[in-house]
Structure 1
Amino acid sequence: MTLIERLSAATATRADHELELLRADLRELELDDAPPAAEAAVLIAVTDRAEPGVILTRRTEQLRQHAGQVALPGGRVDPGDADAVAAALREAEEEIALDPAAVQVVGAIDRYRTGTNYLITPVLGIVPPDLPLVPHEAEVAEVFEVPLAFLLDPANHRPATAMYRGVRRDYFEIEWEGRRIWGATAAILINLTRRLS
C-alpha cells in the first residue's frame, strides 16, 4: 500500500466521535457555562520519500502562548478561511513558507479539543521532500522533520502527568533528538497512529 493510500485510509475511517485518548481531556470542558471552543487547524505535512517524515516546528521563546514548544504548523480558523483545510494551508504558508500548491491534501482526521478550549482539525497532506522552508522569524524558531515511522511507533509514546490550573492532566510525550513533542501535538500524532493501525 502506498503512503497516499495509507493516509487516505486514515481519513476514510474518520469517526464522528472522539477517540478514547481525547475523552479524558474533554471531561472538565463539558460544563454548561463553558464558552464555545475556538476553531483551529493544523497541517500534518508528510514528506513523500522512501522513509516519509512529518514537518514540525519549534515556536519562538518570545510568544505569549506555548513559547518554545514543538508544534504542527497551524492556528486559528479565520473568518476569511473557506474551511479548516484552507486555514491549515494558510497557516503553514505564513509560518514556514510552505506553498499551498505543493501540498496534496489527503483529508482531515479526528478533531482534538485542548484543555485551553481550542477545537483543532488536523489536516493530512503529502509534500515533496526537501522543500526550501523558511520559518517566520517572529513565530517559528526552527523547522525540522521527524521520521513518520518514529512518530507512529507506540513504543515512543510516553504517558505523562502534570497539574494545570489545579487539575491533573494526563498527556503523552514523544522525545526525538532532544526535542519534546507533547500535549495536543503528540495527541494528534497518536490519534493518527490509531487510525493507521
Structure 2
Amino acid sequence: MTKNEFLSRFHHARTIPTEPDYPLHSAGKPAAVLMPMLERRGQLSMLFTLRSRHLKHHAGQVSFPGGKQEPSDNNLLTTALRETHEEIGVHPQCIEVIGNLPLYRTVSRYEVVPYVGFVQMPLELILDTNEVESVFEVPLNFLLDKNNHFIHWVTRKNAQQHPVYFIKWHDQVIWGATAAFVRVLSNHIASDAYSSANTIF
C-alpha cells in the first residue's frame, strides 16, 4: 500500500465501530500515543517500541511511543509528540500527523487517544534506553490483514466476554491496547468497506 492510497482510505466519512475497551466506571487518566508510519521505496511500515525490561509497568512489552498527559501539555496531540521525542528522539517537526483514532480505555485506567503520523525519512532515532529497549518495523499490509490477528477471549467480572488481540511478527508479539489500536486502524481503512464509501479528498 502506498502513502497516497493509505491517505485516501484514511480520510473518509464513514463511521467506524471501535474495538471493545475496558469499561471504566469513572473518568480515566488522559494519555496519547503516536502510531508512527514509515515510507520506504513506496511501501509503508509501522514502527513499534519494546519497553525496557526494568520498568515497573508493562516491562518488556511492545508498544507505541506515548504516555500520560502532563500539565504542561496543551492537548493530547502535544502529549503524543512530546513522548515520541523523549522516547525515540524524533522531533515533532519531523512528524506529519494525519489524524487520530477513537479514544480507548485500558485496564490500567488510562483513556488513550492514538494519533497516526508519518515520520520524515531518513529515519534518525535516539532511544531513551531507560524506557525503550529497542524498536522494530512491521509492514503495514501485514498489520492490516486480519488473518494475522489472533483473538483470545477473556471473561470479565460481569461474565461478559472480551476479545484480546495478538499480532505475531517474527519473535515479537503485539498485544493488548497496542494490538487493539492496529485492529481499529484496520477497520478504518478496510478496502471492502472503503469501496462503497463516500470519501473526502
Counterpart for residue 93 of structure 1: 85
Which of 132, 139, 143 is equivalent to 1:140? 132
1:42-121 residue pairs with structure 2 within 5 A? 42-49=33-40, 50-121=42-113
Retained in 2: the 8 A contact 1:7–1:124? no
- Letter of the 1:7 partner, please give it: L
Runs of 5+ consecutive residues of structure 1 not aligned to the other structure? none
Which of 163, 167, 170 is equivalent to 1:170? 163
Counterpart for residue 3 of structure 1: 3
Question: Shift of residue 146 of structure 1?
Answer: 1.0
Question: Shift of residue 129 of structure 1?
Answer: 3.6
Which of 173, 178, 190 is equivalent to 1:180? 173
- Letter of the 1:176 partner, please give it: W
Moved over 6 A (4+): 163-168
Residue 30 of structure 2 is aligned to residue 39 of structure 1: yes
CA-atom RMSD, angstroms? Answer: 2.4
Question: Shift of residue 109 of structure 1?
Answer: 1.4
- 1:94/1:164 CA distance change after superposition, 3 Å: farther
Retained in 1: the 8 A contact 2:2–2:44? no
Q: For residues 151 and 93 of structure 1, what CA distance do their matches in structure 2 show?
A: 24
Question: Shift of residue 153 of structure 1?
Answer: 0.7
Q: For residues 163 and 179 of structure 1, what CA distance do their matches in structure 2 show?
A: 25
Q: TM-score, normalised by structure 2?
A: 0.84
Q: TM-score, normalised by structure 1?
A: 0.85
- 1:13/1:2 CA distance change after superposition, 3 Å: farther
Runs of 5+ consecutive residues of structure 2 not aligned to the other structure? 191-201
- 1:10/1:60 CA distance change after superposition, 3 Å: same
- Letter of the 2:91 partner, please give it: D
Q: For residues 134 and 101 of structure 1, what CA distance do their matches in structure 2 show?
A: 15
- 1:97/1:163 CA distance change after superposition, 3 Å: farther
- 1:83/1:9 CA distance change after superposition, 3 Å: farther
Identity of aligned residues (%): 37
Retained in 1: the 8 A contact 2:2–2:43? no
- Select the structure that is richer in helix: 1
- Letter of the 1:71 partner, please give it: S
- What SS does structure 1 have at the residue aligned with 2:185? helix
Residue 11 of structure 2 is aligned to residue 19 of structure 1: no
Retained in 1: the 8 A contact 2:3–2:43? no
What are the superposed Cα offsets for residues 141-197 of structure 1, whole Å, 9 maximum, x if unpaired?
001111111111111100014578898653000000110100000000110000001
- What SS does structure 2 have at the residue aligned with 1:48? strand
- 1:3/1:42 CA distance change after superposition, 3 Å: same
